[in-house]
Amino acid sequence: MVRLGMAIILSGVLLGCTDSVDPVIDSGRAYTLYGFLDAHADTQAVRVFAIEGTLDLIRPAPLGAEAISTELESGTQHQWQETIVEFTNGRFGHVYWATFRSAYGKTYRLEMTRSDDVQSSVEVTVPPVVDPILLDPSLGIGYAIIPVLWQHAPRVHDIRVSYETNMGTYDFEYPLDQEVRSDGVVVVIRFSRDAREIFRDLHRARRPVADLRLHEVRLTVLISSSAWVPPNGIYDPDLLIEPGVFSNVVNGFGFVGAGYDTLMAFDPADSVKIAAGIPVGDN
């Protein structure tokens, strides 16, 4: 029903620890929030933990918080509902959700209010519509990289490159291959490096590289809000479990981002394939 998005992976850091994690006892703060406003989804959701000395992951009772989101530009509001989710390990999670599509370029404030009127809140801006631009490749003997500019993107995350070939699909993750510029974010596809990994796989399978033909390159990224930058740019569980280290929640802990997945697909020129050692021609 709901897509919690990549940001909720951070709450998985908590699930991987002991039953109770000490978030720094602070009775003045109400909630820890993790989630993601998805511009391509009709339902938005966040994971919510009560701050009660520990983050209790096993209690199935409702939190009972009042949750309201407001689009700041128009003043449009939505009431969020609570759902208790049971995981396969027997623990329970509190998910708050509302049915609406977050809009490109708009800023939203989500307010979580406890029964004693103590409140945690977060503001997040959904990135604008972003169109990719294929830049000129850099080529050499056995060397090829393909830069792609995601124009006006605040940040890019969850970078994945897939190569569709006549011998199957080969997938690669690109956690750090990006450059933030004034006109957007450049993702650099390490084409020749990936080709060498594909060749190794073919050799292990005793399949001839000469028979390989590349049909399409598919670059998938998550365009995200500008605040979605952890310390040192690395999602380190040992670091992120420390309360307040990576947080945009006022009077609380956790992180709520915004964005959307998008895809660019293209067939590289023969000159690019040849530079990387990939055979060309009919097959």
Tens-place pLDDT, residues 127-170: 999 989 999 999 998 999 999 999 999 999 889 999 999 999 99
Q: Of 67-76, 216-225, 240-249, which gets the smallest average pLDDT? A: 240-249
Which tops the pLDDT comparison, 6 or 132? Answer: 132
The per-residue pLDDT for 194 is: 97
Q: What integer best gives the mean pLDDT of the chain?
A: 84
Contact criterion met (CB below 8 Å) for 47 and 65: no
Q: How far apart are CA 260 and CA 111, in angstroms?
A: 22
The per-residue pLDDT for 235 is: 54
Contacts of 130 (CB under 8 A, 6+ apart): 150, 151, 152, 153, 184, 223, 262
Name beta bridge partners: 189.
146
Angle at 89 between CA 228 and CA 16, to 5 degrees: 40
Q: Of 26-40, 114-128, 266-280, which gets the smallest average pLDDT? A: 26-40
Angle at 60 between CA 99 and CA 256, to 5 degrees: 45
Contact criterion met (CB below 8 Å) for 143 and 275: yes
Q: Of 215-219, 250-254, 268-272, 274-278, which gets the smallest average pLDDT? A: 250-254
Sign of the CA dihedral running 130, 134, 135, 139: positive
Tokens standing for residue 226 = 């500008």
Contacts of 12 (CB under 8 A, 6+ apart): none
Which tops the pLDDT comparison, 60 or 188? Answer: 188
H-helix or E-strand spanning residue 144: strand 143-151
Domains delineated in the chain = 6-127+226-258 (2.60.40), 132-224+263-276 (2.60.40)
Total residues belonging to the chain = 283
